[in-house]
Amino acid sequence: MRNNIVKIIAEAGVNHDGNLEKAFKLIDIASNLKANFIKFQTFKADLLVVKNAKKARYQMINSPNKRETHYEMLKKLELNYNDHISLIDRCRKKKIKFLSTPFDIDSFFLLKKLGLRTLKISSGDLTNIPLLEKISLNSPKFMKIILSTGMGTIKEIDQALKALTKYNLIKKNITILHCTSNYPASDKSVNMNALISIRKKFGNNIGYSDHTFGNIASIIALSMGAKIIEKHFTINKLSSGPDHKISLSPKELRHFVHDIHRASKMLGSFEKKASKEEEPIKKIVRKSLVANSFIKKGNYFTSKNITVKRPGTGLEPKYFKSLLKKKAKKNYKKDQLIIL
């Protein structure tokens, strides 16, 4: 039986623009729309990027300040310790789980200190073996990891898992997300069949981090066994910032959550059988063996005096041949269901 309980991560990321009130509003939206997690990003710009690093192309396109460096952009988007306390408290009140991605070891220890039991590892750190091993060494065994694999290969995923499980973390607590690290990801780049390869190699703890427009890719991921779906969202897609334009609006997030849960219900189990809704219809539209003409008690059933007609409440048609040359134990009127 398939477990159809899919978890939805509403990715706020840095769409708070460094403003705590915006972050609160993002939490409220995600909670009201019944997402399971809201995810932020925890980092110190000084530990994450060199001062003269350039922004990614999509960041250049979506940010108003073209001269701003990657470092300058990130510095404005940092959340400090007290911010995290406030966000976690808001999530607790709104009954939604707080989740974040640590981008450096200091940020990991901050999230650990705050008592997080689940962490998200970014695609950018898939090959950051020193960070993954430190997280493994300093995490409690119950810690759950959601590992994004954008830009990665099967070999790199395998190496990341070995690093994460080197010390305390347990493989069964690690969920691997297929991902394409472009914003937005084009249809031809998402390669959804890779999710099947990930499942075959590493097991059923799989999911999908969706950077495409629309809901189709996530629904495909569900059909391939994804247990976690992640999608960016924002308060206003017209806001200036690196991720707003490729994020879902609150209205779009509502439809996304609805569609994902609906698709999850539709998947059902791997057992092929009549559903409860089909059972009454089955009795009407299937067929039974019936008398094709008057049959006298003691006469033989023949291919001429029996036939197949609706409803399906009598002897199934598969018994047609075995009924031939048997004697009727009672009189049958035309169209009367045959009883053995």
* The pLDDT value given to residue 54: 79
* The pLDDT value given to residue 1: 31
Residue 307 clears pLDDT 90, i.e. is over it: yes
Residues whose CB falls within 8 Å of the CB of residue 205, separated by 6 or more in sequence, listed in order? 172, 174, 175, 176, 227
Residue 61 clears pLDDT 70, i.e. is over it: no
Query: Omega into 242 within 30° of 0, i.e. cis?
Result: no
Residue 149 clears pLDDT 60, i.e. is over it: yes
In this prediction, residues 41-67 reach a mean pLDDT of 81
Query: What is the distance between the alpha carbons of residues 204 and 191, in angstroms, rounded to a whole number?
Result: 18
Q: Which of 319, 309, 253, 261 is nearest to 286 (CA)?
A: 309
Kindly tell me the number of DSSP H helices and DSSP E strands found in the chain.
Answer: 13, 10
In this prediction, residues 206-224 reach a mean pLDDT of 97
Residue 317 clears pLDDT 60, i.e. is over it: yes
The string of pLDDT tens digits covering residues 100-148 is: 999 999 999 999 999 999 999 999 999 999 999 999 999 999 999 999 9
Query: pLDDT-based confidence at 340, cuts 50/70/90?
Result: confident
